[in-house]
């Protein structure tokens, strides 16, 4: 039995604005996608499928160096990119993680906690952190409509873990909804599983699993790497 992971790395990185895919941005001499793969392997992942921007597969392979990964081309959005990797998973995978290349500094403990929870029998698992900011619902003109009770809210990270049939069924359902012209509202894989009626459980996430989205995030990642292991 194998613990496998899909690393969606096919985004364009528009908010980072480097003019090339974000997964190829470099932190401490290593591309984000390479760091993300290393974090997964350190946490117990045995087989990795990286999803590259179509046409950039060779560049992504080069950034991954000698790491043993399968690289497949992605799609226009993240849901499509994850779906594009499903057929490349090892047939004997009993756990599959989906982990953003952009969350390149995720500690191995988060990875192993997600794997353990799936192995304990939970079909869908997400790492979460507490929400630090006060949250308000706002209207069309930016006016505050209400203060949201933060106590029942959590910020969701990756890697998210699944038993493989659940992840496949979730993406199949998303495909069917799309084909029928319906909305696919979920922005993460667990959201697609929720749509199936699956109960998603949480494990503790970690602030270091933040997603590199903007130039500030990249500077923060660089600072963390040069400060050494925390």
Give the binding site for ligand CTP (CB under 6 A): 8-15, 22-23, 51, 74-78, 81, 100-102, 211, 213
Q: Name which of 77 and 195 has its Cβ closer to ligand CTP.
A: 77
Q: Do the Cβ atoms of 71 and 52 come closer than 8 Å?
A: yes
Residue number of the CB atom closest to ligand CTP:
11
Q: Can you read off the two tokens belonging to residue 95?
A: 């756990």
**Number of residues forming the site for Mg ion (CB under 5 A):** 1
Q: What is the DSSP letter of 220?
A: H
Token pair 């459980």 is at which residue? 201
Q: Does residue number 11 form part of the binding site for Mg ion (CB under 5 A)?
A: yes
Q: Name which of 23 and 105 has its Cβ closer to Mg ion.
A: 23
CA–CA dist 1, 90 (Å, integer): 9
Q: Name which of 103 and 122 has its Cβ closer to ligand CTP.
A: 103
Piece of 7-15, 16-24, 58-66, 176-184 that binds Mg ion (CB under 5 A): 7-15
Q: How far is the CB of 8 from Mg ion (least distance, A)?
A: 10
Q: Which helix (H) or strand (E) holds 31?
A: strand 30-31
Nearest residue to 70 via CA among 44, 43, 92, 52: 52
Q: How far is the CB of 176 from ligand CTP (least distance, A)?
A: 20
Q: How far is the CB of 144 from Mg ion (least distance, A)?
A: 28
Question: Under 8 Å CB-to-CB from 192, ≥6 apart: which residues?
Answer: 79, 170, 171, 173, 174, 184, 186
Residue number of the CB atom closest to Mg ion:
11
Residues that bind Mg ion (CB under 5 A): 11
């Amino acid at each position: 039995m194998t613990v496998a992971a899909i690393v969606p790395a096919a985004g364009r990185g528009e908010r980072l604005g480097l003019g090339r895919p974000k997964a190829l941005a470099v932190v401490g001499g290593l591309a984000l996608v390479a760091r993300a793969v290393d974090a997964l392997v350190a946490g117990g992942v045995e087989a990795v499928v990286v999803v590259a921007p179509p046409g950039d597969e060779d560049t992504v392979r080069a950034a991954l160096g000698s790491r043993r990964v399968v690289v497949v081309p992605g799609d226009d959005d993240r849901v499509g990119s994850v779906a594009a990797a499903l057929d490349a998973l090892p047939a004997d995978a009993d756990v599959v993680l989906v982990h953003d290349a952009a969350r390149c500094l995720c500690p191995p403990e988060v990875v192993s906690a997600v794997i353990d929870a799936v192995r304990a029998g939970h079909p869908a698992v997400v790492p979460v952190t507490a929400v630090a900011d006060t949250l308000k619902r706002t209207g069309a003109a930016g006016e505050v409509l209400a203060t949201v009770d933060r106590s029942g809210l959590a910020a969701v990270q990756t890697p998210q873990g699944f038993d493989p049939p659940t992840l496949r069924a979730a993406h199949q359902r998303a495909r069917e909804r799309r084909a029928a012209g319906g909305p696919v509202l979920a922005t993460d894989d667990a959201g697609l599983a929720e749509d199936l009626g699956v109960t998603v459980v949480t494990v503790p996430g970690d602030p270091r699993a933040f997603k590199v989205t903007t130039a500030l995030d990249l500077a923060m990642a660089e600072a963390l790497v040069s400060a050494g292991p925390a």
